[in-house]
Structures are given as C-alpha cells and as structure tokens.
A and B are shown apart, each in its own frame.
Chain A
Amino acid sequence: MAATQTLQMTFVTQAGTRTTISLDNPRDDLTEAEVVSAMDEIIAKNIFNTSGGDLVSKHSAQIVDRTVSVLYGGQA
C-alpha cells in the first residue's frame, strides 16, 4: 500500500468562485497557524490569475489522504 497526502488550500476569487492550490507531501507537524499564514501571504502577493480574477480571501484548507492498494502487478 502506498499512501500520499496532499494539502489543498481553497481561496475565494473576486467573482466569488473558489480555486484550490494543492501541495503534495505536507509536513506531518503542520499547524493551522502556518497554513493560514501561507494563505495570507499568497493573497497579499497577489501573483495568481484565475478565471474569477484575483484571490481575495481564504475559504478553507484540508489535508487529503490517498491510499493506493495494488491488487495485481505492481513494482518490478
């Protein structure tokens, strides 16, 4: 079994739509404060362009666990 974790940070755009930036292999000891601070930095620097315009606020952040179980075949 192989497990991977992805951090998904969701932002609200000028148009009110949502857009997500994801990052693989988040640190195990990641705190809410660190994620909030990084999301604030992303909004402050305003370097991203989306179909809904600039990112204007934070919506949510989550860590998604994905486990792959190989039933047949696999690594050589």
Chain B
Amino acid sequence: MAVDKIPSGTALRMQFQTGVDGDGDPIYRTKSLSNVKTEAQDQDIFDVAQALVQLQEYPLVAVQRVDSAILEEV
C-alpha cells in the first residue's frame, strides 16, 4: 500500500536569546508565525525572518522552518 504525503502547513519559527539564567545558561524565547505558504522558498522565509529580527532587541539564535504534512493511503 502506497502512502501519499500532503503538505498541510508551514511555520516560521525564530529563536531568540533573551538573557542568561542564574547558572549562566542562555534563556531562549521563540516567536512562531504559522500561516506560511507550504510552497514558500527557504530563501524568502529566511529573508522575512531577517527583516523581522532587525526590528526587535534580542539576538537571533536560529531561524527554523517547520513543515507539517498529512500521510494518506492511496
């Protein structure tokens, strides 16, 4: 039985470092924007993340692309 993979959603997640805790370990905070087109190009998502990062005060740790998909038997 074959299985089809159907893209169901994409999110842009930006991880920021907002400070350090009492032990000197970094404190992270993430900002997620969920209504990204599944067909969006990686470069375009990255560019939008860069544009947004410049508007706020914390250093960026990572830009993540989170793709979801539904698996269906065909």
Contact = CB atoms under 8 A, between A and B. Distances in A.
Contacts of A28: 57
Nearest to B18: A25
A25 B54 CA distance: 11
Given A25-B57, A47-B44, A47-B45, A38 B52 contact: yes
A contact patch SS: mixed
Q: How large is the interface on B (under 10, 10 to 19, 20 to 34, 35 or more residues)?
A: 20 to 34
A21 interface: yes
Interface string B47-67: 110011011111000000000
Contacts of A47: 12, 36-37, 40-41, 44-45, 48
Interface of B: 12, 18, 29, 31, 33, 35-37, 40-41, 44-45, 47-48, 51-52, 54-58
